[in-house]
């Protein structure tokens, strides 16, 4: 059977959908060179309508993955949205095992940027990414770890912000929150850059050299900015005057758990203290030029994205800020 150039996972999600659309519409990759996947067979018709092939691929079921990955040159391995780290690690193990069994030629793993090119971030969900990267390194597969910048689009999560919020409450840390900066990236631009890399191939970008034994390409925004700067961006975009208040971490967890509008549980806020400490320690501040090289322009900064989003929609929401979405309980303990 002839091989197919690309198999893309995660294409029903926000990032993967942008990657697929750009590969087709901007880079004119022939639809017959692409296989889209989902856990659900119900998604077949929406992809076949675009002319791309479709296969079911469920990270929880090795058999579906081995079947789906047959005769594939490039596998876009989107990290699972599962928030339970041991479960997510098992899912990712299945993907790697299936890629080995199916002899996939190259794996592009969509990882996350905490720790920059290093492995020192203590943040729970980043540890899970490190583990997957380690497994890829030891698998014998040819792979790239695309460490994606932190979504600016997810700002409600980082501030526990809702459109009704009058003041943003943050835990008081050392070093202080004002010094904890993130090189945010917008999800759409991350999709655009990834599509460009896949469609044109790595050889088209000799300036981008994967680093370390984990072949890391870091896709981070052009400027590291603090969460206080995001609050200012919300105020500018919505013409409001939200203040920032601080509480000692245990009091912050207590206060936030009392009546969180999104219904997130205590464990979520406890994990957020670890997240905040990581940010204050500089885990997400590294700016790398690869993202700009792939886009061919300066990427949006986090504050530019946030201001734009709240101007477009003053009631902006981010799904992961809500424990219940459409009646379904989301497992958001680690909440990336």
Ligand X SMILES: NC(=O)c1ccc[n+]([C@@H]2O[C@H](COP(=O)([O-])OP(=O)(O)OC[C@H]3O[C@@H](n4cnc5c(N)ncnc54)[C@H](OP(=O)(O)O)[C@@H]3O)[C@@H](O)[C@H]2O)c1
Q: Which residues make up the interface to ligand X (CB under 6 A)?
A: 9-16, 38-40, 43, 57-60, 78-82, 91, 110, 112, 148, 150-151, 154, 187, 336
Instruction: For residue 284, give both structure tokens.
Output: 């997400």
How does DSSP assign 298-309, residue by residue?
A: PPPPHHHHHHHH
Q: How far is the CB of 190 from ligand X (least distance, A)?
A: 7
Peptide bond into 83 cis (omega under 30): no
**Complex with ligand X: residue 54 or 269, whichever CB lies closer:** 54
Q: How far is CA 50 from the centre of its chain?
A: 25
* CB nearer ligand X, residue 58 or residue 235: 58
Q: How far apart are CA 53 and CA 287, in angstroms?
A: 37
CA end-to-end distance (rounded Å), the chain: 39
**Residue 190 CA: distances (Å) to CA of 84, 230, 292:** 24, 19, 10
Is the Cβ–Cβ distance between 216 and 210 less than 8 Å? yes
CB atoms under 10 Å from CB of 39, counted, come to 15
In the bound state with ligand X, the residue whose beta carbon lies nearer, of 80 and 196, is 80
> Running DSSP on this structure, what letter comes out for residue 211?
B
Nearest distance, CB of residue 120 and ligand X, angstroms: 18
For ligand X, the closer CB: 66 or 247: 66
Shortest separation between residue 38's beta carbon and ligand X, angstroms: 3
Q: Could you give the 3-state DSSP secondary structure of residue 225?
A: strand
Which one, 40 or 331, has the nearer CB to ligand X?
Answer: 40
Q: Is the dihedral of CA 288, 219, 298, 74 positive or negative?
A: positive
* For ligand X, the closer CB: 12 or 321: 12
CB neighbours of 172 closer than 8 A, spacing ≥ 6? 246, 247, 248, 249, 252
Q: Return the number of other C-beta atoms located less than 10 Å from residue 250's C-beta.
A: 11
Shortest distance in whole angstroms from residue 45 CB to ligand X: 13
**Least distance in angstroms from the C-beta of 186 to ligand X:** 10
Q: Is 230 left (phi over 0), alpha (psi -120 to 50) or beta?
A: alpha
Of all residues in this chain, which one has the CB nearest to ligand X in the complex? 13
Rg of the chain, C-alpha, whole Å: 20
Q: How far is the CB of 311 from ligand X (least distance, A)?
A: 21
HEC readout, 114-180 = CCCCCCCCCCHHHHHHHHHHHHHHHHCCCEEEEEECCEHHHHHHHHCCCCCCCEEEEECCCCCHHHC
- Smallest distance, Å, CB 176 to ligand X? 23
**C-beta of 43 vs 235, nearer to ligand X:** 43
> At its nearest, how many Å lie between ligand X and the CB of residue 18?
8
Residue number with CB closer to ligand X (87 or 259): 87
Supply the minimum distance, in Å, between the C-beta of residue 250 and ligand X.
26
The residue among 29 and 57 lying less far from ligand X, judged by its C-beta, is 57
């Amino acid at each position: 059977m002839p091989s197919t150039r690309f198999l893309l996972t995660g294409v029903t999600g926000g990032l993967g959908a942008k990657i697929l659309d750009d590969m087709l519409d901007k880079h004119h990759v022939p639809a017959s060179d692409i296989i889209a996947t989902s856990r659900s067979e119900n998604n077949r018709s929406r992809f076949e309508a675009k002319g791309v092939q479709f296969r079911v691929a469920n990270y929880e079921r090795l058999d579906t993955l081995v079947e789906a990955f047959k005769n594939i040159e490039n596998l876009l391995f989107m990290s699972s949205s599962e928030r339970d780290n041991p479960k997510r690690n098992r899912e990712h193990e299945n993907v790697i095992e299936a890629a080995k069994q199916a002899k996939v030629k190259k794996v592009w793993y969509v990882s996350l940027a905490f720790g920059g090119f290093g492995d020192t971030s203590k943040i729970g969900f980043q540890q899970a990414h490190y583990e997957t990267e380690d497994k890829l390194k030891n698998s014998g597969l040819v792979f790239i770890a695309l460490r994606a910048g932190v979504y600016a689009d997810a700002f409600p999560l980082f501030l526990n912000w809702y459109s009704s919020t009058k003041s943003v409450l943050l835990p008081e840390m050392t070093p202080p929150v004002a010094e904890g900066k993130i090189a945010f990236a917008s999800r759409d631009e991350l999709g655009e850059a990834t599509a460009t890399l896949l469609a044109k191939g790595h050889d088209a970008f000799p300036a981008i050299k994967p680093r370390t034994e984990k072949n890391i390409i870091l896709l981070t925004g052009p400027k590291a900015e603090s969460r206080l700067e995001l609050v200012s961006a919300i105020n500018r975009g919505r013409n409001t005057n939200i203040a920032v208040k601080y509480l000692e971490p245990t009091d912050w967890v207590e206060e936030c758990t009392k009546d969180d509008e999104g219904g997130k549980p205590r464990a979520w806020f406890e994990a957020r203290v670890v997240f905040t400490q990581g940010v204050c320690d500089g885990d997400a501040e590294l700016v790398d030029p690869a993202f700009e090289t792939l886009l061919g322009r300066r990427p949006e900064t986090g504050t530019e994205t946030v201001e734009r989003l709240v101007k477009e929609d003053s009631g902006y929401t981010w799904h992961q800020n809500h424990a219940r979405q459409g009646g379904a309980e989301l497992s958001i303990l680690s909440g990336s």
